Amino acid sequence: MTNFAELGLAPDILRALDEMGYVSPTPIQEQVIPLALRGGDILGAAQTGTGKTAAFALPLIQRLLPFANTGTSPAKHPIRALILTPTRELAIQVEESIKTYCKHVPLRSLVVYGGVNINTQIPILKAGVEILVATPGRLLDHVQNKTLMLTQVNTLVLDEADRMLDMGFMPDLKRIVALLPAQRVNMMFSATFPEEIRKLADSILNNPAFIEVARNATAVTITQVMHPVHHERKRQLLAHLIKSRDLRQVLVFTGTKLGCNRLANELNKLGLHADAIHGDKTQQERIKALDAFKTGTLRVLVATDVAARGIDIEALPFVVNYDLPHNAEDYVHRIGRTGRAGAQGEAISLVSESETRYLRDIEKLIGSTLDPVIVPGFEPGAADVPAYQSRAPRQPERHGERGAPRGRPAVARDALFDAPYVPSDAPLLDTAPVPLRQPPKKQVAALFRSPVKPDTAGQ
């Protein structure tokens, strides 16, 4: 088995890795580090959680060692390496890793991102840093304000390049690349390779080495579970799973910002300490929620895909797809938050009838079928209340009263979440599920075709 010393890393870097408990390199680290130490361009294809941050950061740090200890003047510490990421969370995570790798190396690093006061970042830039991690928008803010110079950058890293294109950063990337020296080392990492990514790679990279490691595959350490359920009962099922199994540190993904806030509020009403993070939250709110989740004081973190590639939590046990992503690759990125670095994790997906087409795309991408596991009491043919059905038009009362208010079900949907929680008598889901007699896809379709029977209890 290869170790980090055999890859040619410097003693001070190896010392930091040893203190962090790094034993042997991951496949992408084993392939990328020797090539990056030689200074060639690299195009890497790897799923999240494979250790690619260390793959590009460790050789980058080693190649900058000749520029360390050159004095205290800011002019002696120009930006030598630029790392671009699509999200604030990922930028913070990458820079934290670099600081740890540089523990015994006199190199300075800084992370700059939007959502915070830009003036707090300027003094550190003026003092001089060799490694800058940034989101594209905030980097261009500094360029416009002339608070940093990119004329001496010798290494450019684009991390999660496909995500940057999805978020509309292509114009910003072109502007940034135009500001860099023509002679430099380029490294680009992406989990997917649509045509736009290939064009971007062709415009930036010079005869790159292509490294591919388990692209669009899910880690074998992740147990994937799919629960078919009527869309009106997802909230109740999620609460049931968390309470009956006493789940802790549960990362839940929703499809919209509004749904993210609403679900977090409803879980809090049930006594499940939850918070939400999405693009409309301030950076301080997002950092506060993430810190509480990492320390375990927050039981459930509800997030949109803004967090899918920016959360790095050691041994995160559970990821829930409350809404299936429309893009199958996002499923891989979401569940990749768990089962990292060989740890065990569980990915739970709640699937309604309208999401079966997304389920088929996901199964095609990952090359395996997600067998359905029916939770007793939450069969997809049953709904909470008839509130999801079309309401009847207003009708006069028998006694001749006109304009009577519309009728309401005896048990309102929201009231169900205010009622005391009653644990189910069903066995916990960590026991082995009973195999389905029919092929999974046919079974799921048959379940969804069954008539919806409203719950008439209490009416």
Lowest-pLDDT choice from 148-152, 183-187, 241-245, 423-427: 423-427
**Phi (first) and psi of residue 271, to 5 degrees:** 85, 10
Strand partners, 443: none
pLDDT of 421 > 60? The answer is no
Question: What is the structure's pLDDT at 406?
Answer: 41
13-71: pLDDT as tens digits: 999 999 988 888 988 999 999 999 998 899 998 766 678 899 999 999 999 998 876 55
Q: What angle do CA 156, 158, 163 make, to 5 degrees?
A: 165
Question: What is the structure's pLDDT at 157?
Answer: 97
Maximum C-alpha span of the chain:
93
Percent of all residues in the chain with a pLDDT value above 70, rounded to a whole number: 76
Tokens of 4: 């980090």
d(CA 353, CA 365): 20
Confidence of residue 459 (pLDDT cuts 50, 70, 90): very low
Sign of the dihedral defined by the CA atoms of residues 75, 92, 340, 45, in that order: negative
The 3-state DSSP class for residue 211 equals: strand
Q: Which residue has the higher pLDDT, 74 or 255?
A: 255
Nearest to 67 by CA among 127, 129, 15: 129
Residues 442, 447, 450, 454: what is their CA dihedral angle, to the nearest 10 degrees? -170
What are the C-alpha distances in Å from 195 to residues 205, 255, 317, 356? Answer: 15, 25, 35, 27
The 3-state DSSP class for residue 438 equals: coil
Domain ranges of the chain: 4-213, 222-386+411-454
CB 266 within 8 A of CB 300: no
Q: Which residue has the higher pLDDT, 79 or 458?
A: 79
Question: What is the structure's pLDDT at 158?
Answer: 97
d(CA 20, CA 117): 32
pLDDT of 451 > 90? The answer is no
Question: What is the structure's pLDDT at 139?
Answer: 97
Question: What is the structure's pLDDT at 24?
Answer: 87
Do 4-213 and 222-386+411-454 share a fold? yes
CB 361 within 8 A of CB 431: no
Strand partners, 210: 43
d(CA 426, CA 125): 59
What CATH number matches the domain at 222-386+411-454, 3.90.550.10, 1.10.3720.10, 3.10.129.10, 3.40.50.300?
3.40.50.300
Residue 155's H or E segment, with its range, is strand 155-158
CB 56 within 8 A of CB 37: no
311-366: pLDDT as tens digits: 667 678 999 999 999 988 788 888 887 876 567 889 999 999 899 999 999 999 88
The CATH architecture assigned to 4-213 reads 3-Layer(aba) Sandwich (3.40)
- CB environment 55-75: b (16+ within 10 A), e (fewer): bbbbbbbbbbeebbeeeeeee
Total-model pTM: 0.65
SS3 content of the chain, % helix, strand, coil (to 5): 40, 15, 45
Nearest to 336 by CA among 222, 189, 256: 222
Question: What is the structure's pLDDT at 381?
Answer: 65
Lowest-pLDDT choice from 43-57, 100-114, 230-244, 429-443: 429-443
